[in-house]
Structure 1
Amino acid sequence: MNTNTAPHTCDFPIHDTVNAWVAHGRFTVPPTASGPLDGLRFAVKDIFDVAGYPTGAGNPHWLASNPLPVRSSPLVDTLLAAGATLVGKVLTDEIAYSINGDNVHYGTPLNVRAPGRVPGGSSSGSAAAVAAGLCDFALASDTGGSTRVPASYCGLWGLRTTHGVLPCTGMVPLHPSFDTATWLAHDARTFARVAAVLLPPSSHRFRRVLHPEAVCALADPAFAAPLAQVLAAATRVLDAAAEPVSLTRDGETLDDWRQAYATAGGHEAWQTHGAWITEHQPVFSPAIGGRWTSAAGIGAEAARAAWDRVHGIRAHVRGLLGNDAIAVIPSSAGVAPMLDASGAAVDALRMRTLQITCIAGIAGLCQVSIPLSCADGLPLGISLVGPAGSDAELVKLALHVAAAL
C-alpha cells in the first residue's frame, strides 16, 4: 500500500460501521471557492483521482502498483470550486467490474435503507455513504449499471450521464466506450444542485413517452405498481399518451443485446487492463476473476461482430427516441439481494438487470433513477431514459415527475 502522506488534514476515524470509506480515504479537502454547492459534503468513488491520495480501484494490487496521483479528476476540482467539501474516498467493486456491491478484499458496505442486503455496485461505497448520511452526494461511475443499480438498491437519486458529457480523465477505466462519470444524491434538491454545476445546458423538449413493455417485464412483480405510477405521472407532466414500443429489432432479444455489450466491453476491458493483470497477477473475487478470464479469451473476430451489433443497436435506439422522447423503465430487475444470497441467484438477477441497463449503456444515453419503494417498503428505482445530450433537461423532468407521483 502506498504510504505517502497527503497534503490535507485527516480528521476522521479510518473506519465506521457503514464500511463505506476505504482505509486510505477518510480525509477532508476544503472547497477552493464559495459557490452553489456551499455547505454540501461529497465523497468520491475510489476510481477517481484526488491529488495527493492513492487511487485503489477496489483492489489492493492496483493500490500497490500505481503511483500517487499528482492531479485530481476535473470533476473533483469543479465540485471544490463550486463550494462543496470533499470528505473522503469510498469503496468500489474491484476495477468497477460488478453490480452487486461486495468486495472480497474490503468487505461489503452497509445498505442502511435495506439492512441485510447488498448496496449494489460497483459504486457500492458511494451509495452506502450517501444513504447513511455520511455525505450529501458522491461521485460515482456507470458503465453497465454501476450507478443505476445501487441507486435502486439504496433508494437514491442517480444519473447515468450521456457518454462523453462529463470527462472521464483522472478516473480508472473499465470499458472506455461505455464508461460515464456520474453521481448519487440522497434527496432531489441536492441532486438538482449538483446537476446545475456539472451538466451542460440542454435544449431538448420532451413530447413523447415510450413504454418498452418487454423491458419492464424483465423486472420482478414488485416493480409493476411503481412503474405504472411513474408512467402515469410522466404522461401527465408531458400531456402525452404512453406509447407501447418494442425496442428490439426483428429476430433480436434483449439478451442478445446484453451479450453484445458484454463481448464488446469485455474485449475492450482486456485491451485496457490485460497487460497489468498479466504482469501483476492480482487476486480477484471468483465472480470478477471469471469475468477477466472470459474477457481475455475474446478474440478479434468475436469482438468485431459484437461491435457491429453494438453500433447497429445504438443507432436503432437513438432513432426511436429521436430528440423528444423519454422511455420509462425499471432501474434494475429486482430489489437488493440478501447478503447471503446464493451465487446462482445473484448471477440470475445480474443477467436480467444487465438486459435492462445495457440499453442506455450501448446507446450512450442518459438515464435518471427516481427513488421509490415497493409494497413491503424495500427501495427500488424507476428510470427515465432520454436522448443523448438531454441530461440537464432529463433531470428537471425527473424532478417534476417525482413531484407528480
Structure 2
Amino acid sequence: MASQSTNLWVLLGLGLAGIFLMTRKLKKRSIKQDFGAFIHKLLLLPPPQPAPPKAPHPLTSLNFAVSDLFDIDGHVTTFGHPEWARTHEAASQTSPVVSALVEGGATCIGTTVVDELAYGISGENKQYGTPTNPAVPARVPGGSSSGAAVAVASNLVDFALGIDTIGGVRLPAGFCGILGFRPSYGAVSHIGIIPVSKSLETVGWFARDPNILRRVGHILLQAPFVVQRSPRQIIIADDCFQQLNVPLDRSSQVVIQSTEKLFGRQVLKHINLEEFLCNKLPSLKKLSSQQQNGELKAPSLKSLAKIMQFLQRHEFRLTHEEWMSIVKPELHPAVSADLQEKFEVSDVDVENYRSVRNEMRDAVNSLLKDEGILVIPTVANPPPKLGGKEIISEDYRSNALSLLSIASISGCCQVAIPFGFYDKCPVSVSLIARQGGDRFLLDTLQTMYSTIQEQVEIAAETKLSRNVITQEQSAEIAKEKGNQAYKDKQWQKAIGFYTEAIKLSGNNATYYNNRAQAFLELGSYLQAEADCTNAISIDKKNVKAYFRRGRAREMLGYYKDAIDDFKYALVLEPTNKMAASAAERLRKLFR
C-alpha cells in the first residue's frame, strides 16, 4: 500500500513538473513571437472608407503601435513602470496624435515597452522585460522607445510612435537598423502624453519604408503642401564621422556618392561641426570658463550633451519628483543613477542653459537655411551587449549624447537612416534640416533613400572583394590619399583619410603624426596635441611628434610644456633648426 502511495506521488510530481516546463516553454515562445515589444495588445479601428470617387484614407491598410506613455481611452498608461500604473487612473480620452492616425486609416494594435519612466537610453526594462533587438539579439535595442522600434524592426507593425527627448527615437532606430524621425520641436501636439522633459521632447516615429515615414508625417505635421525641392547644400560633418568606429566608405562616403549621383558634386560641403558650433555659442564659452567643478570644461559637443542631460533631469524632477518621493519606484541602474542621486541646479544655471539652446537653434538654422541638410552619424558606437555596464559608463553616454544633442538642443528635425551592417552591427547615418523644415527633410529622404541603399550594397560588395588586401595595405593607401589631400590644402579631407588609416592600423605613429599636422593647419590644437601624444606613445623617438606637440601646446598657452617638447626634439635631433628657434623664442618670452 505504501509503495502504491509513493508511486502516485512520483507520478503526480512528474506531471506537475511537465506542466511547469510546458508553461515556461509556451511563455518563452510567446515572448519570442512578439520580441517582448508589447505591454498591452488592443485594437483601435479606423472609420469606414469613404465611398468612391473619394480617395481612401491616407494610411489605409497600415497598422501601428504606440509607446506606453500615450493616453488610450479606457487604458492605464504604465510609463514603463508598474508602480506608475498602480497609482494612476485609466485615461478618459485618447491622445490626439493617436486619434489622428486612426482617423487617417491606420489600425492601432497595442502599446509598447519604454525604458522605466521613459528616461534611459538602453531600452532595458527590469519591470516588463527588455525587448529583443531583431538586428542583433545579444545587444540592447536602445531607448527610451525600445518596444516601438523593435515592433517595427521585427515587422510586427508598419510604423510606431515614440518620444524623443535626448534620443529616444533616433537611438533605437540606429541600434535596430530602421528609420527613425524626430520632428522639429513643437511641430506635433503633446496633449495626452506623459511629459519627460518639456523643453526637449518631441513625438517621433519609426518605419522601415521611407514612404510610410513620410505619409505618417503628413498626418501628424499638418503642414501645408509645398512643391518638393532638392537640397542646395549637403553638409558633411567630417569631425563627427572621424569619431565613428566604422570606415568612411561605409558611412559618409555613401552619402557623398549618393549626393554626387543625384544632385552633383557642387552641392557638397565639408565642415568641422564642433568648431563651427562652439564659435557660434558665446553662452557656452562663458559657461565653460565659469565652471569650477569641471563638468563642462572646454566648449565642445560633449559640453552640449551635458547641458542636455541637465535640462532633462531638471525638468523631469520638476514634473515627477513628488510622485517619486512618495512611491520610491525600483529603477534600472542606468535610470536611478540620474534620478535618485542628489542633484541641485540653480535658476541662473537653467537660464544659462536655455541661452545656449537659443543660440544653438540660431546657429544650426543659419548653417542650413531653408534648403540645407547636415549629415552626421546617428550614434557613435555600436549597441552594447545586454546586461553589460558599457551603456551606463560615462564615456559611452557622453559619446552617444554628443551627437544626439545637436537636434535635441537646437530643436531641428532629424531622420536616422539604416546603412546596413558593419562588424555584425547596424550602421546608421542621420540627416538634419533646420527647425520647421520637416516636410523638406522627409521629401529629401524619399528622394535619396533608394540611391543610398544602392551605394550601401556597393560598399559592402567592394569590401568583400577587397578582403585579399591586408588592413595594413589599406591603411597605407588611405595615408597616401591623405598626403595628397594635404598637398592640395584640403585639410579636412586629409584628416578624414588619416582617420581611416588609424582605424585600419592604429599602431602606426606616422598616421597620428600626419593627422596632427592637418589639425594644426585648421587650428584644432587640442586634437593635434592628442594625436602627437598618441604618436609618441607608439614611437618615443618621433622628432616630428614632439615638435608638432610643442607647436600645439604653444598655441594653447601651455608654454612650459611646449618648451620641454622643443628641447626633447633637439635632444633627438640636435640639428633641428625649427625646434631650436621655437625653444629659444619661448625661453626669451618666459625667463
Instruction: Give the TM-score of the pair, scaled to structure 1.
Output: 0.91
> Paired residue for 2:420, among 367, 373, 377?
373
> Paired residue for 1:144, among 160, 166, 175?
166
> Paired residue for 1:19, among 36, 53, 56?
36
Matched, 1:167 2:193: no
The Cα shift of 1:344 comes to: 6.3
CA distance in 1, matches of 2:253, 2:122: 26
Matched, 1:331 2:369: no
CA distance in 1, matches of 2:392, 2:114: 22
More divergent stretch after superposition (164-173 vs 339-348): 339-348
CA distance in 1, matches of 2:238, 2:207: 29
* Aligned residue number for residue 269 of structure 2: 243
Contact 1:211 1:244 survives alignment (8 Å): yes
Contact 1:207 1:324 survives alignment (8 Å): yes
Contact 1:331 1:356 survives alignment (8 Å): yes
Contact 1:33 1:80 survives alignment (8 Å): no
The Cα shift of 1:377 comes to: 4.4
Contact 1:202 1:389 survives alignment (8 Å): no
The Cα shift of 1:351 comes to: 1.5
Cα 1:344/1:151, change in 2 over 3 Å: closer
- Number of residue pairs aligned between Structure 1 and Structure 2: 391
Matched, 1:36 2:83: no
Tell me the alpha carbon deviations over residues 66-118 of structure 1, each in whole angstroms, 9 at most, x when there is no partner: 21101111111011111111100000001221111101111110111112111
CA distance in 1, matches of 2:60, 2:130: 31
1:108 match: secondary structure? coil
The Cα shift of 1:309 comes to: 2.1
Tell me the alpha carbon deviations over residues 255-308 of structure 1, each in whole angstroms, 9 at most, x when there is no partner: 111112112222122112122212222221122112113574223232222222
Matched, 1:359 2:406: yes
Output the amino acid matched with 1:129. Answer: A
Output the amino acid matched with 2:140. Answer: V
Contact 1:214 1:246 survives alignment (8 Å): yes
* Aligned residue number for residue 326 of structure 2: 279
* Aligned residue number for residue 59 of structure 1: 81
Cα 1:241/1:353, change in 2 over 3 Å: same
CA distance in 2, matches of 1:330, 1:195: 22
Cα 1:231/1:99, change in 2 over 3 Å: farther
CA distance in 2, matches of 1:272, 1:235: 48
Output the amino acid matched with 1:291. Answer: D
* Aligned residue number for residue 396 of structure 2: 349
Contact 1:37 1:79 survives alignment (8 Å): yes
Matched, 1:268 2:315: yes
CA distance in 2, matches of 1:296, 1:236: 51
More divergent stretch after superposition (337-346 vs 373-382): 337-346
CA distance in 1, matches of 2:113, 2:323: 21
Q: What is the percent sequence identity of the aligned residues?
A: 31
More divergent stretch after superposition (273-282 vs 238-247): 238-247
> Paired residue for 1:231, among 245, 256, 262?
256
CA distance in 2, matches of 1:33, 1:81: 9
The structure, 1 or 2, with the larger RCO (C-alpha pairs under 8 Å, 6+ apart) is 1
CA distance in 1, matches of 2:342, 2:370: 35
CA distance in 2, matches of 1:273, 1:333: 31
Unmatched 5+ stretches in structure 1: 1-12
More divergent stretch after superposition (101-110 vs 184-193): 184-193
1:130 match: secondary structure? helix
Contact 1:142 1:180 survives alignment (8 Å): yes
CA RMSD in angstroms, aligned pairs only:
2.1
CA distance in 1, matches of 2:385, 2:249: 21
Contact 1:266 1:294 survives alignment (8 Å): no
